[in-house]
């Protein structure tokens, strides 16, 4: 399964993600190198949620520093299918900021 971090996030840290991510989408498919248009195309998105900086928090877990994002529930489904990835995007600048796997294999119905 593919994962991705935008070079701006790598260079500037998770605070950049926190400040610039304004939407999280669950998608049917993601492949390394996919464009913003491919990832955010209406047929690819299963569900989406707006994000704000307060949805991202830092916590200390023993000797580890953990970057968390808020869980989102009761979202409307855009399509039917099994999401494979969560994609954190900056819709203002048309950027994919982070991609992570969705591994519960729960089907979503619109």
pTM of the predicted structure, to 2 decimals: 0.86
* Cβ(89)–Cβ(21) below 8 Å: yes
Q: Quote the DSSP letter at residue 108.
A: B
DSSP E strand boundaries for the chain: 4-5, 23-27, 45-50, 56-61, 64-69, 85-90, 95-101
pLDDT at position 60, please?
86
Segment 77-86, tens digit of pLDDT: 888 888 999 9
More confident residue, 50 or 3: 50
Residue 45 CB burial class (10 angstroms; 0-12, 13-18, ≥19):
buried
Segment 51-108, tens digit of pLDDT: 999 999 988 888 888 888 888 887 778 888 889 999 999 999 999 999 999 887 677 7
């Amino acid at each position: 399964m593919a994962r991705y971090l935008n070079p701006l996030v790598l260079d500037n840290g998770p605070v950049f993600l926190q400040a610039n991510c304004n939407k999280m989408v669950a998608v049917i498919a993601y492949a390394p190198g996919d464009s913003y248009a491919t990832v955010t195309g209406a047929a690819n998105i299963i569900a989406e949620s707006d994000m704000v900086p307060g949805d991202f928090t830092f916590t200390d877990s023993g000797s580890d520093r953990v970057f968390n994002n808020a869980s989102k529930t009761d979202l409307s489904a855009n399509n039917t299918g099994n999401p494979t990835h969560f994609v954190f995007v900056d819709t203002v600048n048309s950027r994919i900021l982070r991609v992570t796997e969705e591994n519960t294999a729960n089907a979503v119905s619109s």
